[in-house]
């Protein structure tokens, strides 16, 4: 089989290449650039728990060391503190890091990966699809033809792949614009991210309606000032005045010492590609969607695209294409991003209207909740979402029970015992192409594995797992939020919950696994190639 062609070595393309390699699928990453990233401290990303775990798993790189976990969140309106959150065990902190640190970690991992080939200074300019594969042409010093099994356009907002496939990209331009600066300084709330609406100090130039300060490692802060609608240029003088006035406003009138490290303008567009799949060609990341207003993170969604697509392409690569499975990528991911964009579109006029509407009693608190949700990855604006209407969802079995995680949502991380007896994090077992079957068996931790593995329901469950239509790993946990003892969770390779059964139900488990693989045909293909 030919490798998967990935166009674009941005964070999404690199993540996809690694995720495919972990599932034994070779890829070629084509990029028009030189293969090095500009070191820009003003271009950062806030990763939520799931995407931070994905990057850590793929790179083996402790992103927590290069990134910065916020100690807390504080939102203010004029002089009033509206909300203060301290992150801890039950409320994990977002991870904030410069984008070039993220891509450098991905590139390092790829350099050690035999299944990924990166070709720089290779600009894609044509794609031809045939029944059995894809041919792509690149120009540049290494201009040549490339043969692939599938092709994924991770080539950013101006995606050539999207244009070559004639896929429309409707939406809105410049929904929000921010002047951005990265600077090293000490603020009165070390390590806490701050959102300040209607700051009370006098400003030169147009008034500031909203400013955020989000900490990075080593006393570096990324600051964003919301710009008024329009295309007015942000002059260096105006930006410097903003920096000084804002720092003075927060530090009792005196600008503290600071070192300006980077500046820029971040313009947020809202766009959604009409289709994310055209035969053997797919779109992911900024090529498929643009979002980012109200603190939401476009790159976070791009990483989730890569995670969702990787195991489906891996299954198709190893066992042959399956329409339902491959179509489910667009159905699942596009629905989540569309819902996120709808939520932002509804919130934007409310939040940005000002005037009389914001004087309605309680409005300020409601606005604060919306913005906090966006920034912290919660609620309709920010939470990762569940693949509720997925074509891969199994029909509800009579033996199905509910746990705290909704069907279609990502499972939470718990300690599990693997088949070899080691105790590992559930998340570490994801992304290997196998389904996961997790038995909840309280008390197993106090028994040696050799005693319980042959006792009670274990042998029957092990036999049911071996008989599944696809490779599956059997895991055991002491508990899972909301799960009754002896319930069995079926989890996809990307960590989304398929179903929970109240005990060992081989037929129901088989049917759920079959549905999660796209239906009987893919299941049969997978089973026959195992034999």
Ligand X SMILES: Cc1cc2nc3c(=O)[nH]c(=O)nc-3n(C[C@H](O)[C@H](O)[C@H](O)COP(=O)(O)OP(=O)(O)OC[C@H]3O[C@@H](n4cnc5c(N)ncnc54)[C@H](O)[C@@H]3O)c2cc1C
Residues that bind ligand X (CB under 6 A): 7-13, 30-33, 42-45, 99, 123-124, 154-156, 160, 180, 264, 266, 285-286, 292, 297-300, 302
* Cβ proximity to ligand X, 61 vs 146, nearer residue: 146
* Cβ proximity to ligand X, 175 vs 513, nearer residue: 175
φ, ψ at 171 (rounded to 5°): 155, -155
Report DSSP state, residue 411: P
Long-range contacts of residues 84-91, Cβ cutoff 8 Å, at least 24 apart: 85/372, 85/376
Closest distance between ligand X and the C-beta of residue 198, in Å? 22
Which ranges of 41-98 would DSSP assign to H, the alpha helix? 49-59, 63-66
Closest distance between ligand X and the C-beta of residue 215, in Å? 13
DSSP string, 366-391: HHHHHHHHHHHT-HHHHS----TT-T
CB 104 within 8 A of CB 45: no
* Cβ proximity to ligand X, 15 vs 328, nearer residue: 15
DSSP string, 119-173: E-S-EEEEEEEETTEEEEEEESTT-EEEEES-EEE---TT-HHHHHTT----EEE
Closest distance between ligand X and the C-beta of residue 34, in Å? 9
Q: Which two tokens stand for residue 243?
A: 């920096």
CA-angle at 85, arms to 82 and 87, nearest 5°? 165
Q: Which residue is nearest to ligand X (CB)?
A: 10
* Cβ proximity to ligand X, 285 vs 374, nearer residue: 285
Closest distance between ligand X and the C-beta of residue 76, in Å? 20
Beta bridge partner(s), residue 496: 410
CB 442 within 8 A of CB 479: yes
Closest distance between ligand X and the C-beta of residue 390, in Å? 23
CB 325 within 8 A of CB 35: no
Residues 6+ apart with CB under 8 A from 477: 414, 415, 416, 417, 426, 438, 439, 440, 441
Q: For residue 144, how many other CB atoms are within 10 A of its CB? A: 11
* Cβ proximity to ligand X, 117 vs 266, nearer residue: 266
Closest distance between ligand X and the C-beta of residue 11, in Å? 5
Nearest-Å Rg of the Cα atoms of the chain is 24
Closest distance between ligand X and the C-beta of residue 430, in Å? 21
Closest distance between ligand X and the C-beta of residue 180, in Å? 5
* Cβ proximity to ligand X, 13 vs 26, nearer residue: 13
* Cβ proximity to ligand X, 74 vs 222, nearer residue: 222
* Cβ proximity to ligand X, 43 vs 270, nearer residue: 43
* Cβ proximity to ligand X, 265 vs 507, nearer residue: 265
CB 314 within 8 A of CB 433: yes
Closest distance between ligand X and the C-beta of residue 197, in Å? 18
């Amino acid at each position: 089989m030919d490798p998967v062609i990935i166009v674009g070595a941005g964070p999404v393309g690199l993540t996809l290449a690694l995720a495919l390699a972990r599932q034994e699928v070779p890829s070629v990453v084509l990029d028009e650039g030189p293969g090095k990233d500009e070191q820009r401290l003003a271009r950062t990303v806030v990763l939520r728990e799931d995407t931070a775990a994905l990057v850590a798993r793929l790179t083996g790189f402790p992103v927590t060391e290069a990134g910065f976990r916020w100690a807390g969140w504080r939102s203010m309106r004029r002089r009033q503190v509206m909300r203060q959150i301290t992150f801890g065990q039950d409320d994990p902190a977002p991870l904030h890091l410069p984008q070039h640190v993220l891509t450098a970690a991905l590139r390092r991992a790829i350099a050690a990966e035999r299944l990924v080939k990166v070709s720089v200074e290779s600009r894609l300019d044509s794609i031809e699809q045939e029944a059995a594969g894809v041919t792509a042409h690149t120009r540049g010093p290494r201009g040549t033809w490339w043969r692939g099994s599938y092709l994924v356009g991770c080539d950013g907002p101006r995606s050539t792949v999207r244009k070559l496939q004639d896929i429309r990209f409707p939406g809105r331009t410049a929904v929000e614009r921010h002047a951005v600066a990265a600077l090293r300084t000490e603020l009165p709330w070390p390590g806490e991210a701050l959102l300040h609406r209607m700051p009370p100090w006098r400003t030169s130039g147009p008034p500031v309606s909203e400013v955020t300060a989000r900490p990075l490692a080593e006393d570096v802060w990324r600051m964003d000032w919301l710009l008024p609608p329009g295309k007015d240029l942000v002059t260096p003088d105006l930006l410097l005045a903003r920096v000084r006035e804002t720092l003075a406003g927060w530090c009792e009138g005196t600008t503290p010492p600071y070192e300006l490290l980077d500046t820029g303008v971040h313009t947020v567009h809202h766009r959604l590609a009409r289709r994310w799949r055209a035969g053997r060609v797919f779109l992911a990341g900024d090529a498929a969607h643009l979002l980012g207003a109200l603190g939401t993170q476009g790159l976070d969604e791009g990483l989730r695209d890569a995670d969702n697509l990787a195991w489906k392409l891996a299954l198709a690569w190893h066992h042959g294409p399956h329409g339902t499975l491959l179509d489910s990528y667009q159905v699942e991911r596009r629905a989540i991003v569309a819902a996120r964009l709808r939520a932002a579109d509804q919130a934007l006029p409310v939040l940005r209207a000002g005037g009389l509407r914001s004087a309605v009693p309680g409005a300020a608190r409601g606005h604060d909740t919306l913005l906090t949700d966006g920034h912290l990855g919660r609620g309709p604006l920010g939470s990762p979402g569940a693949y509720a209407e997925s074509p891969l969802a199994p029909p509800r079995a009579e033996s199905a029970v509910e746990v705290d995680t909704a069907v279609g949502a990502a499972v939470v991380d718990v300690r599990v015992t693997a088949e070899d007896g080691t105790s590992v994090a559930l998340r570490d077992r994801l992304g290997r192409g196998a389904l996961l079957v997790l038995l909840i068996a309280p008390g197993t931790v106090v028994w040696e594995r050799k005693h319980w593995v042959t006792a009670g329901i274990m042998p029957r469950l092990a036999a049911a797992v071996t008989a599944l239509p696809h490779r599956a790993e059997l895991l055991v946990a002491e508990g899972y939020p909301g799960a009754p003892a002896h319930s069995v969770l079926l989890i996809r390779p990307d960590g989304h919950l398929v179903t929970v059964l109240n005990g060992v139900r081989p037929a129901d488990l088989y049917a759920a696994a079959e549905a999660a693989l796209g239906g009987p045909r893919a299941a049969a293909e997978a089973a026959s190639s195992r034999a």
